[in-house]
Chain A
Amino acid sequence: MPSIACASGKGGTGKTTVATNLARIMAYERDTHLVDCDVEGPNAHHFFTLESTQRSPVHVPVPHIDLSHCDLCGVCSDACAFHAISVLADTALVFPELCHGCGVCAYICPRNAITERPRTIGSVLEATCDGMAFTGGSLNPGEPMPPPIIQAAKKTARGRDYIIIDASPGSTCATVEAVHGTNFCLLVTEPTPFGLSDLRMAVGMCRRLDVPYGVVINRSDLGDGRVEDYCKEEAIPVLGRFPSDRCIADVYARGALIVDHNSAWEDRFRGLLMALDRLLKREVNHG
């Protein structure tokens, strides 16, 4: 069951366009699950007609301190890497928004004064659309911590033949969480200095995560040749070169998929899928 992450250092390079259209092409013949892990700005669901939708809350465990048992020893506060607990002269405070839910405070408390209680930070939406499975993670506004939502969203796709994960842009915790453990990462970039600069960071992230990766150059007929040069120097496979095309913007703006409306683009995405299959096969053989 290969899972493929679509990521990009830079935002706005066409990551969601690639993820959604690739998922559509793949779902024609294969058991496919698209997971939108861009939980701070989910938008992949706009491109599909979702059926039998079901939304479930995502919780993180946060400490609750029973002050009648707490002797204000401060062990929990010293152990917390995120300063989510302040032990003061005559009380102890919990800052739920700082808590990462690791549970060390409850584990370490010598008086067993700490229990963990669930706090809702977002939700996952599960649905089907035209034979494809879909999950979209969504972080509640004001919440600072995307990874638990991403973990919950990825979990819903376990066991599928093919999983496509739409990651958030950048190379932050959220992107790392989405790409971590996948079999391949498609890095969507554009041939501009900004695209190249952020591509380097995304490549560094994939190397650290030990996830094989390749590049899709979007709007490949604009900008300069430095992304191509970089990929050649670093021996990074380029799986697709997509030209700038007003038609794709028109279709996108209507919330539709370009592969459903334009046969030239359908061919391009079929070509991308073939290139991806070849590389996945190679990874399996070498892995």
Chain B
Amino acid sequence: MKTAFTVQAKGPDAPMDDRFGRATVYAIIDDDSDDPNYLENPSLSSSSGAGPASVEFLSRHGVRKVVTGNVGPKAARALRAAGITVYRAQRGNLSENLAALQANTLERIDLEQPGSSPNRGPDRARS
């Protein structure tokens, strides 16, 4: 199963990107491999609809899970329809979040109410 991590750059040390639709890079990692495939976000600078467009982009790449900071309402609707599960990223970089996902310690984001978690600051996913 493929998981997409929103990151600010390419590489295992890249800090997580809080934004889902306007993340700089998607690091896509298959369950049976530790080697990420880095895809630049094609809707990074689009004027509108970056969230749903990113869901479509990731869905076409076979992504079933996402690890990110925040998800907007339109992206949440598309993620629900695409059947993609979303986890809230922890402070730190890509490899730390991959380890946390594998250890099953990431919190799931409720796509019915996708607002940011109240007990964490808005830039919790930045290192």
Contacts and interface: CB of A to CB of B under 8 A. Distances in A.
Interface of A: 74, 77, 82-84, 86-89, 91, 93, 95, 97-98, 144
B120 to A, nearest CB: 28
A93 B48 contact: no
Given A77-B56, A83-B43, A83-B53, A88 B48 contact: no
Interface in B83-99: 83
A133 B24 CA distance: 52
**Would you list the 10 A-B pairs with minimal beta carbon distance, nearest first?**
A83-B49, A83-B53, A88-B82, A86-B52, A86-B56, A98-B49, A86-B78, A88-B59, A91-B81, A93-B81
B52 to A, nearest CB: 4
Specify the main secondary structure of chain A where it touches its partner: loop
A93 B83 CA distance: 13
A38 B48 CA distance: 23
11 contacts: A82-B48, A83-B43, A83-B50, A83-B52, A84-B49, A86-B56, A86-B78, A88-B59, A88-B81, A97-B74, A144-B48
A95 B78 CA distance: 9
Contacts of A144: 48
A87 B83 CA distance: 13
Contacts, number: 47
A89 B55 CA distance: 11
Given A86-B78, A98-B48, A98-B74, 12 more contacts: A74-B56, A77-B56, A82-B49, A83-B52, A84-B49, A88-B56, A89-B59, A89-B83, A93-B52, A95-B74, A95-B77, A98-B49
Contacts of B60: 74
A97 B73 CA distance: 12
B113 interface: no
B102 interface: no
Interface string B53-75: 10110011000000000000010
A240 B57 CA distance: 55
B49 A95 contact: yes
A86 B48 contact: no
A98 B50 CA distance: 10
A83 B74 CA distance: 11
A87 B58 CA distance: 11
B46 interface: yes
A91 B77 CA distance: 12
B82 A83 contact: no
A256 to B, nearest CB: 41
Contact of B53 (A86, A89, A91): A86
Most B Cβ at <10 Å: residue of A77, A86, A88: A86
A74 B56 CA distance: 10
Contact of B82 (A74, A89, A95): A89
A89 B60 CA distance: 7
B56 A87 contact: yes
Contacts of B56: 74, 77, 83, 86-88
A156 B30 CA distance: 59
Nearest to A87: B56
A88 B74 contact: no
A207 B46 CA distance: 27
Nearest to A144: B48
Given A83-B43, A88-B59, A89-B59, A95 B81 contact: no
Nearest to B78: A86
Contacts of B55: 86, 88
Contacts of B43: 83
Most B Cβ at <10 Å: residue of A83, A95, A97: A83
Contacts of B81: 86, 88, 91, 93
A17 B27 CA distance: 55
A93 B59 CA distance: 13
B49 A88 contact: no
A83 B48 contact: yes
